[in-house]
Amino acid sequence: MLTPDATSGPHPTTGTHVHVALVGSRTDVADIASLLPRRWRATRYHRLSLVDDADIVVLGSATSDRVAAARLLNPTATIVAVIDPRAAVAFLVQMMRAGADACVRAGTSAWLAEQVLAAHQFRGRQTRLASHRGWRPAA
């Protein structure tokens, strides 16, 4: 079980490759630490301003303002916005325009963990492609 501001796994600092920041209450952001790869470290934060050097930021009860702030505070991180399951498509579009790499409708921990993995892999591919000379993402 993940406790507030505690890390997951038996040896969270040994060989960790990816730091996942879970921002929000336990009901907003599911406890996904046990579902992530073993070399990843998940830390729960109650405030976005406390997140430091995260590779992935998972925002519970996301709003476009919180997503934009997460992007400014963590410019190289993958931002995953967790939104209400009944949110309109226009709301999802706002999250993406604010800087989210992925939006996930609140649901099960397993679903959220899978989406976090997929978003991180996709952003990694984009970064590798962007490093090649002359490649530019579609507008």
Does residue 137 belong to any structural domain of this protein?
no
CATH number where 78 lies = 3.40.50.2300
Does residue 103 belong to any structural domain of this protein?
yes
- Which is more confident, 52 or 133? 52
The pLDDT, as a whole number, for residue 15 is: 57
Average pLDDT (17-27) is 86
Does residue 11 belong to any structural domain of this protein?
no
Q: Taking the model in full, what pTM does it have?
A: 0.77
The pLDDT, as a whole number, for residue 2 is: 43
Q: Is the pLDDT score of 7 beyond 50?
A: no
The pLDDT, as a whole number, for residue 136 is: 59
DSSP string for residues in the chain = -PPTT-B-SSSTTSS--EEEEEES-TTTS---GGGS-TTEEEEEESSGGG--S-SEEEETT--HHHHHHHHHH-TTSEEEEEE-TT--HHHHHHHHHHT-SEEEES--HHHHHHHHHHHHHHHHHHHHHHTSTT-----
Q: Is the pLDDT score of 109 beyond 50?
A: yes
